[in-house]
Amino acid sequence: LQLETDFRLAFERAEFLLHYQPIVELKTGKLVGAEALVRWQHPKRGLLGPNDFLPVAEETGLIIDLDSWVLREACRQLTHWRKAYPALDGLVVNVNVDERQMASKEMVEDVFHLLQTHQLPPSRLRLEVTETVFRSGRKHAEAQLDSLRALGVGLAVDDFGTGYSSLESFAASAFDALKVDQIFVRDLETNPRHRAIVRTIIGFAKDLGLLLTAEGIETEGQRQMLLELGCEYGQGYLFAQALPPDEFEQRL
């Protein structure tokens, strides 16, 4: 409960911040994007990661306020980077969106206003959602996804392969990207079953014209194997962990 009280105050005290994990082209290592990952600079407990406070945020419903803040902050940061580094014109920032935020009435309008306010090309923003978005009702979720796609923002399925997705949800969905979950990447070189799954996901993404990013790449061997299998983009400790904005800038 203390954590819940602290969490409410954290907004006023501006204790949340975003770190950015580079997303690169696997073949060249070229930076193409970044995933925004939220952190909480807690006055007593130090720097907390999402696993420490997302459960509280979800239970209390404050996840909607948090995700709104994250979306706003990511757009502000991206706009700043675009002005300061013209070479970053094509950089895409990925933002994680909780299923409850996805379902909220204000979501589509918020995104629309942020894009307008910052004069951001919509394709520079990609929202990551897990397959649980469909849990609250397929019709509503699909309508929300369609509205967001109509704005021109990217939509990625996060942690792909671990949810209870039916392939049916891709038949007519607005998703334009997939993120292969790190559990399949971790032992790609030693587990032929995971390799088979990754190969299948890559073929699936290719056939449906979806952009594919592999997560959790930690070794050069994994990078090589993903390249051989035909995966174009990736993120992971091999390239960089999630970095504070100033450290991210140093890599530009």
The answer to the question of residue 37 lying near ligand G (CB under 6 A) is yes
Among 67, 98, 99, 128, binds Mn ion (CB under 5 A): 128
CA 242 to chain centre: 12
Among 6, 99, 131, 158, binds Na ion (CB under 5 A): 158
Residue placing its CB nearer to ligand G in the complex, 37 or 226: 37
Among 92, 120, 125, 242, binds ligand G (CB under 6 A): 242
CB of 19 to ligand G, least distance (A): 7
CB-based contacts of 114-121 (< 8 A; 24+ apart in sequence): 114/71, 114/72, 114/75, 115/75, 115/151, 115/152, 115/153, 117/75, 118/75, 118/76, 118/78, 118/79, 119/79, 120/75, 120/78, 120/79, 120/82, 121/152
Stretch touching ligand G by CB under 6 A, among 48-56, 170-178, 200-208, 244-252: 48-56
The answer to the question of residue 157 lying near ligand G (CB under 6 A) is no
CB of 247 to ligand G, least distance (A): 14
Decide which of Mn ion, Na ion, ligand G, none touches 6; Cβ closer than 5 to 8 Å per partner kind. none
Decide which of Mn ion, Na ion, ligand G, none touches 70; Cβ closer than 5 to 8 Å per partner kind. ligand G
Using CB under 6 A as the binding rule, the residues of this chain from 206 to 235 that contact ligand G are 215-218, 235
Q: Cα–Cα distance between 117 and 80 in angstroms, integer?
A: 13
CB of 96 to ligand G, least distance (A): 4
Among 7, 102, 159, 186, binds Na ion (CB under 5 A): 159
CB of 239 to ligand G, least distance (A): 8
Give contact residues for Mn ion (rule: CB under 5 A). Answer: 96, 128, 158
